[in-house]
Structure 1
Amino acid sequence: MPFVTIEGEPLHYIDQGTGPAVLLAGSYLWDHTMWAPQIAALSPHYRVIALDLWGHGESGALPQGTASLNDLARQALALLDHLGIERVALVGLSVGGMWGARLALSHPQRISALVLMDTYLGAEPEATRQYYFSLLNQIEEAGAITPQVLDIVVPIFFRPGIDPQSALYRQLRDSLASLPAERLRKSIVPMGRITFGREDRLACLNQLNPDTTLLMCGEQDTPRPPSETMEMAELIGCPYQWVPEAGHISNLENPQFVTEALLAFLANR
């Protein structure tokens, strides 16, 4: 499994397939394996890179001094430089879209196409920001994601009514329950505060290229509702698609739809 040291910490990633490069940037509290259906479908045609966020999967701790989504974008650019990739199609879901869009804004010459999924470039609404921060405080204090907090956090990622005994639901719950205290306190909680304390970048969205940008959102996404996607698509002037029968992790709840949409979009870029 390949690693690269960035700002003193090992960043874990996968690099699979050959062809034009595609970077998959995933959600908070998930690792690169969330992209398994898309990696399998894209890698016969593209060079697919997928990374683990700091403190997630096999990546090391959040590097000292990392304080914003701009820092995450800069660190991802360092990965591309390490791999010798000059231009990449970036597919970012949730926080992956938040820092991915910032990378596209700061280094547009490096981005051949941009897909933003179940994400939002505005600031977190104040009520939800305070709510998420209170959950992060509880996790930090306990040194664990307690069963009570898991009952709140896990359903957020899925469409309402998902079977809590389903493999997808149980896998996430079990993985979060097993996170050690040090990783939670040094990386997971700070990463959450960076994500939910982000600044508003909606005013910059008109700088993105509408001809090479696509927005997607699960039609039943609760934390990042479709109305936010519509708002951003209007500001960019780009197309958007709803992912049927899917919530926040739309690429796993309806992998066939998302994979086909990505293949169709990337084929023309």
Structure 2
Amino acid sequence: MPFATIDGQSLHYVDQGCGPTVLLAGSYLWDQAMWAPQIAALSQHYRVIALDLWGHGESGPLPKGMTSLDDQARQVLALLDHLDIDCVTLVGLSVGGMWGVRLALSAPQRLNGLVLMDTYAGVEPEPTRQYYFSLFKQIEDSGIISPQLLDIVVPIFFRPGIDPQSALYQSFRVKLAALPPERLRESIVPMGRITFGRDDLLPRLGELDPETTLLMCGDQDKPRPPSETKEMAELIGCPYLLVPEAGHISNLENPEFVTEALLKFLADRHQRSI
């Protein structure tokens, strides 16, 4: 499995297919496997790279001194340098979009397209931030995500109507329950605080190129509701799509819709760049 040493830690990624490069950046508490349907389809035409956040999947712990999503964006640029990749289309879902915006603003020459999914560039609303931080404190104190907390955390990621006995729902729950205390305390909880304590980038969204940007959001996303996507799309001046019958992890709840939309966006971007 490919790894790169960045800021003293081992960052894991998958690298599949050939052609123009697409970088898939996923959600907090998920690893690169969340992109399996998109990797399978996109890698028929593109070089697809999908990475694990620090402390997630096969990646090492959060690097010492990492304090912000700007650090995450810088680290991903270091990964692209390590791979000798000049330019990518970045598809960022949830926290992947939060640091993806920072990468786009700090190094616009490295992107030929940006897709932001189920994400928000503004600050976390204060009631929600305090609530999430209280959950992090419980996890930090106990060293586990207890069954009671799993009942709270797992449904956040899915549409309300999902079958809680479905393989998608249950596999995510089992994976969270198995996270070891050291990983939770050293990486998962600190990464959560970084994510939900982020600063406000809404005033800078107008700097993004509306011609090369697309927003998507599950039509039943609870933590990042469609209203946030519409707000950002207006600030950027770009189009947005609502993913039918999908919650926060919209690419897994309606993979066909999301994959088709990404293939169309990528084909359009590639034709324009020829």
Structure-2-length-normalised TM-score: 0.98
- Give the structure 2 partner of residue 59 of structure 1: 59
Question: Could you tell me how far 1:162 is from its partner in structure 2?
Answer: 1.0
Distance across 2 between alignment mates of 1:9 and 1:174: 26
Distance across 2 between alignment mates of 1:107 and 1:256: 31
Q: SS of the counterpart of 1:215?
A: strand
Question: Could you tell me how far 1:100 is from its partner in structure 2?
Answer: 0.5
- Give the structure 2 partner of residue 130 of structure 1: 130
Question: Could you tell me how far 1:62 is from its partner in structure 2?
Answer: 0.2
- Give the structure 1 partner of residue 209 of structure 2: 209
Q: SS of the counterpart of 2:92?
A: strand
Q: SS of the counterpart of 2:205?
A: helix
- Give the structure 1 partner of residue 121 of structure 2: 121
Q: SS of the counterpart of 1:124?
A: coil
- Give the structure 1 partner of residue 185 of structure 2: 185
Distance across 2 between alignment mates of 1:219 and 1:64: 38
Identity %: 78
1:1-269 alignment runs, 5 A limit? 1-269=1-269
Distance across 1 between alignment mates of 2:129 and 2:200: 13
Distance across 2 between alignment mates of 1:161 and 1:251: 16
- What code does the residue aligned with 1:27 have? S
- What code does the residue aligned with 1:53 have? L
- What code does the residue aligned with 2:183 have? R
- What code does the residue aligned with 1:181 have? P
Q: SS of the counterpart of 2:173?
A: helix
Distance across 2 between alignment mates of 1:172 and 1:142: 20
Structure-1-length-normalised TM-score: 1.00
RMSD over equivalenced CA pairs, Å:
0.3
1:161-209 Cα shifts (integer Å, max 9, x gaps): 2111000000000000000000000000000000000001000000000
1:208-234 Cα shifts (integer Å, max 9, x gaps): 000000000000000000000000000
Distance across 2 between alignment mates of 1:168 and 1:203: 37
- What code does the residue aligned with 1:171 have? S
Distance across 1 between alignment mates of 2:101 and 2:80: 15
Distance across 1 between alignment mates of 2:204 and 2:46: 29
Aligned length: 269
Question: Could you tell me how far 1:114 is from its partner in structure 2?
Answer: 0.1
